Amino acid sequence: MNVSGRFDHYSDFGNSTTPKVGIKWTPLRQLALRTTYSRGFRAPSFAENGSSESLGYITFTPQTQASAWAALHNNDAYTNPYSLGLQNSANPSIQPEKSESGTFGVVFEPVGFANVSADYYVIKKTNVIVPPDTATGLSEYFAGKPTPGYVIALDNPDPQFPNAPPRPTVVASGYLNANSLQTDGIDIDLRLRANLPGTLTYRGDISATKILSWKMTFPGSPPVEQQYVGTEAPYILSSGAGTPRYRAHFDNTFTIGPATVTGTARYVSGMDQTGVDATGSTTACLYGTNIAKCHIASFTVLDLTGDYKFTDRIGASWAVLNVTNRLPPLNPANYAGVNYNPTYHFAGILGRYWRLGLRVQF
């Protein structure tokens, strides 16, 4: 058993004590069970409780996301997709985040050259500091209701229907404490070791993560729950990076004498091009109007790297990255990159490239 803890003092929030406990039990030499429990604490940043503001833009499609409002304009050109500004402001009354997390896993080593582990994790945060639920402010505006907590800047009236409600150009509000964020998932890791003929050795490592759930709960009566996994949400907070359900990598390393070669495959699953935190809908496309075509493909990239030791002090290295020159999947809704997702698909936009290195120790 391991027990540890941390104590923090903040002049504006007071004290926080965050403990951690870990237990490992080995009923058999080949089998181990392990579990952990911990608490966490995060004080607001200056951007969240100071005096700063940030502004980003999304493509908003009134015909599908505010169809009743668009009908008042007879679905004319004024209701075509356009850039809508989302402005987040600091909130001096914001409270710190707190969290609880736990894991339970098993480690199985049936033979000396193979080891597999699987862990289930669950994390719950309370008072989560998030940008405002923009979708709520938009839906209330388009429904003709008051929008407390939101400041909405409006465009010029529609020339064809000047008496119809104008479209919003900027939706502004401050950071807030969401009720909670809860995510859980499974991590799997497989490690292999083998002595091959001659002096050749092999080392393999397969790691994969599946996110089962990533749910944000906002204040309200009743509370508003939003599920992000498998979509581009949290769209506003992550610039459209999203929450892919699966991620994995597979490393294969061969060593013979002073030479080492490693091949690596990295995989990210596809996602729906939706963001319920931005649109209020689980089916409305962030770019385009057809949910059947509103999907971002998965992405796999292959890398080769190598190293050679001439002496204890002289060595060389090389790498060929994105060996197959895989292009990134099309993602026009992402606004951190142009038509692609730089968080998970940057290797694709960079393309195949190689490098050579020489090191000398004196």
| 276-288 pLDDT, tens digit each | 888 878 888 887 6
Q: Give the single-character DSSP code of 292.
A: G
* CB neighbours of residue 137 within 10 Å: 22
Please tell me the pTM assigned to this model: 0.79
Contact 147, 141 (CB under 8 A): yes
What is the Cα–Cα distance from 183 to 283, expressed in whole angstroms? 21
In total, the chain counts a number of residues equal to 362
Across the 362 residues of the chain, what is the mean pLDDT of every consecutive 10-residue run?
80 76 93 95 82 81 87 94 88 88 96 94 91 80 88 94 95 86 96 91 97 88 88 86 96 95 97 87 77 85 96 95 96 88 95 95 89
Query: Any residues with CB less than 8 A from the CB of 254 and at least 6 apart, and which?
Result: 200, 201, 202, 260, 261, 262
Cis peptide bond upstream of 234, omega within 30: yes
Q: What is the pLDDT of residue 243?
A: 96
Alpha carbon 252 to its chain's center: 26
What is the Cα–Cα distance from 149 to 156, expressed in whole angstroms? 23
What is the Cα–Cα distance from 245 to 20, expressed in whole angstroms? 28
Question: Where is 238: in which H helix or E strand?
Answer: helix 235-238
Summarised one tens digit per residue, pLDDT across range 130-178 is: 877 777 888 889 988 988 888 999 999 999 999 999 999 999 888 888 8
Summarised one tens digit per residue, pLDDT across range 119-130 is: 999 999 999 888
Q: What is the pLDDT of residue 289?
A: 59
Instruction: Please report which residue ranges of 3-110 form alpha helices under DSSP H.
Output: 46-49, 62-65, 67-72
Alpha carbon 90 to its chain's center: 22
CA-to-CA separations, 246 to 99, 102, 104, 187, 229, in angstroms, rounded = 24, 20, 20, 10, 10
Q: What is the pLDDT of residue 291?
A: 56
